[in-house]
Amino acid sequence: MKLFQRYTWGTLGFNLLVILWGAYVRATGSGAGCGRHWPSCNGEIFPRNAQIETIVEFTHRLTSGVALLLVFGLWLLALRQFPRKHQGRTIAGLAFIFIVIEALLGAGLVLFQLVAENDSVARAVMIAIHQANTFFLLGALTLTAWFAGGGRPIRLNRYPGRTILIGLSFSGIFLLAMTGAVTALGDTLFPAGSLAEGIQQDLSPTAHFLFRLRIYHPLAALGMGLFLLVTALILVIQRPESAVKKQAAILMGIFFIQIMAGAVNLILLAPVTMQLIHLFLADLVLICFTYLATVSLAEAEAPELEGRVTGVPLAGSSTPQTNRV
């Protein structure tokens, strides 16, 4: 089981790298590096005499293919490791579905030429959908890692109020990430010469829609930060276990760093490096909140003692600590 757990976390880590490389492809305008060809690259299996844009795009395709195989292998291992009707089996299967959708969305961007300098509404919508599916994939892989480490089943019906609050938080995180993806697209296609010029472009009623959408993302980030803080506090109050407290603290710490990174990204006019850091932190926020939600909704070691348990181990722990009040 330990080997399966390591494989699961390794698959999650590799997918994070692939996601960041995909953002690099977009940020450098290399999405058309293989022309309007998929899965081939400029009509060839392995492009020859390739320019740098082609190398960047082709590398992303290769690593994406490896990621798909890793997730497929994860699903097969889950079928062997977990008994029938186990939640781990279902979640691993969903992860494979999500990565197949990722591949199809990537193919659609290329085949419909929604890459490079394309600034259409269709591209913005596709980018937002792509980002949402990426988060579904990361969430499914995180849940699979929880079960691979011996995590207990999730009981949504047992905690209806908590489930609704967590669902609202997930919705907010997804919407924030989708607006962030569109904002990053606008920064790539229409780079501002200065911060003042960028703000002027954002506020102009005659500006391109990608300009006018950029102003909403920072405001949404601040609002979502406050909502996540409230959510984390409520979860800690409702289930005051060490694992919940730890995950809540980690989540809020990373989200605070993310807000600071967003401010730096804005001030520096969204250089590629900061865009990648900003995206990486957004992915970590999603992973950490998924883990916090899972710990909060997981079945207690002894359901009848819930409310008197003050220490629940993280995934992978074998000896829960319980204190009776």
What are the sequence ranges of the domains in the chain?
1-151, 154-302
Closest C-alpha among 266, 270, 274, 235 to residue 251: 235
Which residue positions in the chain have pLDDT lower than 70? 301-325
Q: Is 298 helix (H, G, I), strand (E, B) or coil?
A: strand
Torsion (CA) 238, 239, 245, 250 in degrees, nearest 10: -80
pLDDT score at 226: 96
The tokens for 77 are 């291992």
pLDDT score at 282: 97
- Distance between CA 113 and CA 107 in Å, rounded? 10
The model's pLDDT over 3-38, given as tens digits with 9 standing for 90+, comes to 999 999 999 999 999 999 999 999 999 998 998 899
Other beta carbons within 10 angstroms of residue 196's beta carbon come to 9
pLDDT score at 308: 43
The model's pLDDT over 48-85, given as tens digits with 9 standing for 90+, comes to 878 999 999 999 999 999 999 999 999 999 999 999 99
* 110 within 8 A of 38, measured Cβ to Cβ: yes
- Distance between CA 212 and CA 206 in Å, rounded? 9
pLDDT score at 314: 44
Closest C-alpha among 190, 161, 162 to residue 270: 190
- Distance between CA 150 and CA 292 in Å, rounded? 16
pLDDT score at 323: 39
